[in-house]
Structure 1
Amino acid sequence: MACERPPPLPKKPESLPAAPTTICALGDDLLREIFLRLPSLPTLVRAALTCHSSLRAVRSTPAFRRRFRELHPPPLLGIFLDIFEYDTPAFRPLRLRSDPDLTAAISGSDFFLIRLPGGDKGSDPQWVISDCHDGYVLLFSCNTDHMAIYNPLTRALHLFPKPPAEIREDVRFEFHVLSPEEDQGPFRVIFVCHEDDGAQTAVLSSETREWQIFPWVDAASMQPALQPEDEKYSSDSGKLVNGFIYWIEASQASARVLNTTTLQFSQINLPPHIEGQGALTAGETRDGKLCIVCIVKFTLVIWLWGTDDDGFERWMLDKTFPLEQAIDDLGHCFMGDQVILKILAIENDFVYLSA
């Protein structure tokens, strides 16, 4: 008997190809997790500007931006040089390595400071740079009644009146910019005039645009108190470190400190055995620790403020780096001249020196 073949099975309908996943299909939380893995802040800016979804994910959560800054400290783009007195400072970009993001950030910014206004009736305003911190450049005009705070990256320019002249007569004075904790928030300017026997502050908010003047503080009232005749502080500008300003004189055993939140002055003992050893500079490590750096006989010495094994806070010697070989490698640049090293800045675990 012939075997009949079974009828063919019905054909399954062909499944449609899966729709491709686009950036718009990702949720904001997933986008932010991806963005945290980007290598630098310029890369994040370029990624955020690719579409509305990316921009919304970055803008909507201040906690994400804080977290990104913690993981990716902003790179040093360059330095401003006061080559000529009372002339607009010159900007020198760093070219340590080829980085297209950093190159794009510098190329699209105004580091020539061309947006700074000129003087009245065509006179030279004589802008002098006084502080540079967190992307802000603070300049003081010697020929006008204004000071300028400028962000070369965003080209945001703010003009403010100078502090009243009566609190800056016959004393050293300086300015410090305190950037906002949140993006686009108000910032403050701390003005400090100081002498060996005391100091005074004034504060300007970008919201009120008015100066709030605080009374003079005698050195003898600063804690821990020392005899006024023993007080002597560097004529260099103080260093802003983690919300505190430090003035250090290498020949002394203490430093003057200003808490920028409470605006209270105090003193802090310096590391032992470094009196008279050379220029001292306060700075902040990448994890937020206070450090002091000095150069002793072409050796870089780094002290950290921390808690010892017994639970006491004190200065602890962290590292020493011999610099003589590095200077010898640059010998052709100095043509036999005596080399003098100066500490310019301490940023994100890097010490920047000039020779």
Structure 2
Amino acid sequence: MEIETPPPPPVAAAVAAAAAISSVLGDDDLLREILLRLGLPTSLLRAALVCRRWLRHASDPAFIRRFRALHPPRLLGAYLSTSAGPAPRLRFLPIRPVPELAAAARRAGAFFDAFKGSAASVYDSRSGRLLVTTFDDRHDSTRQICGPLSPAGDTAVVPPPPPPPPIQLTNDDECLIYHYGEFLPDDDDGRSYFCVVMGYSELQTTVYLYELQDMSWVVRASAAAQLPLLPPRSRVMLFDNAKFYMLSATNKILVCDFPSSSISVMELPNGVLNKHSGCIMLSRGDGSGIFLVHVKESQLQIFHCGKDSDNPGNWFLVDYICLRQVCANLDMTTWPSVDGQSASVKICAVGDNARFVFLEMFGAVVFLDVTSRQADKVYQLTPEDKELVSVRPLMLIWPPVFPPMKEGYDQKESSTQAQTAA
């Protein structure tokens, strides 16, 4: 008769488990590989709180670069603005929510509750921050940089954009028109943003780059060229902290390189025309140039122009998506036919590296994950919404804000690691 071996005492089993865990987590190479597979920056931040050693590995710049390459910045949701009533209506739409990010999504959704009584417009969104303008009952405006994902809901009031700079015209009959673009930097102290002011006439184009430093506007760079351009048809602009791109009404892209103080013109890809508002959007390329997303009828095209390309208009078609196919799961039978209805499909927003696209399709807002080819209808416009004004994606804060290292932070490290892993 086989005699069963009694289980080890609970204390002995716990000690053995802790020793086994420590043998794995005590290996720096294995620990980095484990941290690398956490998937979300929020998980990485929680892991960094275990001890100094974990914090040192998680916050190492080389590790952060590997983590970002494996897990691109995560989209939490989008702020959707419609022209309902006398003031724009703003709401937050979580995109493909996961339980771990539920608290962050709730904070983002409830953030504008504190602005009750004021109309709010989101001008830009970068790395978990928003550039917001609020209007009170007297229509007085206030500029604010907000951190909706911060537990405290950080908000800093900033000055309005600078007045247009004086630009010397060639003759008294020349008419000068100004165009503004406001952009948040990738990372800053929470009180900075850029303003690009372009003055253009029939004979010249001048661009100024302003940066808000210590609550004062400072001219960071400027450029001018004898390039006559027509006013833009829509807000199709892109700023990557070094270059400013703007689509003109002449189906060309103005490129202002601030480090070299030069202005040039880039042609659109072959066969691409700016036929209506919302058919073209530009996307940042994380240091690899820019992307151009174009929608025509039921086809979505994505082009890329490399940063170091000898020909600044050397576009390459890198992706081609049939909207009819990817949107087949969205109850297409209730929608008009996509083919031949080019003005009924508009681009509302795009992610960096053209990883995702928000589309307005026949009265609905659709999120399209370009990589997975999956589409979700995230909002159905109602008669009360009147018209869709803007869609501003909200990304998780990147890089994560790690706590400062403190002396004694790694005391009892082995037991803490074992308890956390368990």
C-alpha change, 1:231 and 1:111, in structure 2 (3 Å) is: same
Q: Is this contact kept in 2: 1:42–1:105, CA < 8 A? A: no
Question: How many residue pairs align between the two structures?
Answer: 317
C-alpha change, 1:253 and 1:114, in structure 2 (3 Å) is: closer
CA shift for structure 1 position 30: 5.2
**What's the counterpart of residue 145 of structure 2?**
149
C-alpha change, 1:189 and 1:276, in structure 2 (3 Å) is: closer
**What's the counterpart of residue 161 of structure 1?**
159
Q: Is this contact kept in 1: 2:156–2:190, CA < 8 A? A: no
C-alpha change, 1:264 and 1:334, in structure 2 (3 Å) is: same
Secondary structure at the residue paired with 2:110?
coil
CA shift for structure 1 position 129: 1.0
C-alpha change, 1:286 and 1:194, in structure 2 (3 Å) is: closer
**What's the counterpart of residue 269 of structure 1?**
267
Aligned runs of 1:32-71 on 2, under 5 Å?
32-51=32-51, 53-59=53-59, 61-71=60-70
Equivalent of residue 345 in structure 2, options 338, 341, 346:
341
Q: Does 1:89 align with 2:90?
A: yes
Q: Which amino acid aligns with 2:134?
A: S
Q: Does 1:190 align with 2:194?
A: yes
Rounded Cα–Cα distance in structure 2 between residues aligned with 1:204 and 1:276 = 30
Secondary structure at the residue paired with 1:113?
helix
Rounded Cα–Cα distance in structure 2 between residues aligned with 1:215 and 1:241 = 14
C-alpha change, 1:117 and 1:306, in structure 2 (3 Å) is: closer
Secondary structure at the residue paired with 2:300?
strand
Secondary structure at the residue paired with 2:193?
strand
Rounded Cα–Cα distance in structure 1 between residues aligned with 2:307 and 2:179 = 35
Q: Does 1:211 align with 2:212?
A: no
Aligned runs of 1:247-258 on 2, under 5 Å?
247-249=246-248, 252-258=250-256
**What's the counterpart of residue 176 of structure 1?**
183
Rounded Cα–Cα distance in structure 2 between residues aligned with 1:54 and 1:238 = 41
Q: Is this contact kept in 1: 2:76–2:105, CA < 8 A? A: yes
Cα deviation code 1:203-237 (max 9, x no counterpart): 2345x22101478755xx1xxx54x2x53433315
CA shift for structure 1 position 175: 0.9
Q: Which runs of 5+ in 2 are unaligned?
A: 1-14, 167-175, 362-422
Q: Does 1:128 align with 2:135?
A: no
- Tell which structure's C-alpha radius of gyration is larger: 1
**What's the counterpart of residue 8 of structure 1?**
none
Rounded Cα–Cα distance in structure 2 between residues aligned with 1:202 and 1:141 = 24
Secondary structure at the residue paired with 1:42?
helix
Q: Which amino acid aligns with 1:129?
A: V
Rounded Cα–Cα distance in structure 2 between residues aligned with 1:281 and 1:83 = 20
**What's the counterpart of residue 173 of structure 2?**
none
CA shift for structure 1 position 248: 1.5
**What's the counterpart of residue 74 of structure 1?**
73
Rounded Cα–Cα distance in structure 1 between residues aligned with 2:311 and 2:178 = 37
CA shift for structure 1 position 54: 2.9
Structure of greater relative contact order (alpha carbons < 8 Å, 6+ residues apart): 2
Rounded Cα–Cα distance in structure 1 between residues aligned with 2:100 and 2:264 = 42
CA shift for structure 1 position 202: 4.6
Rounded Cα–Cα distance in structure 2 between residues aligned with 1:77 and 1:42 = 12
**What's the counterpart of residue 322 of structure 1?**
322
Cα deviation code 1:282-336 (max 9, x no counterpart): 114578442212112221122222499x986611233322223456754355478
C-alpha change, 1:52 and 1:333, in structure 2 (3 Å) is: farther
Backbone CA RMSD of aligned residues: 3.9
Q: Is this contact kept in 2: 1:256–1:266, CA < 8 A? A: yes
Rounded Cα–Cα distance in structure 2 between residues aligned with 1:235 and 1:131 = 16
**What's the counterpart of residue 381 of structure 2?**
none
Secondary structure at the residue paired with 1:20?
helix
Q: Which runs of 5+ in 1 are unaligned?
A: 1-16, 119-123
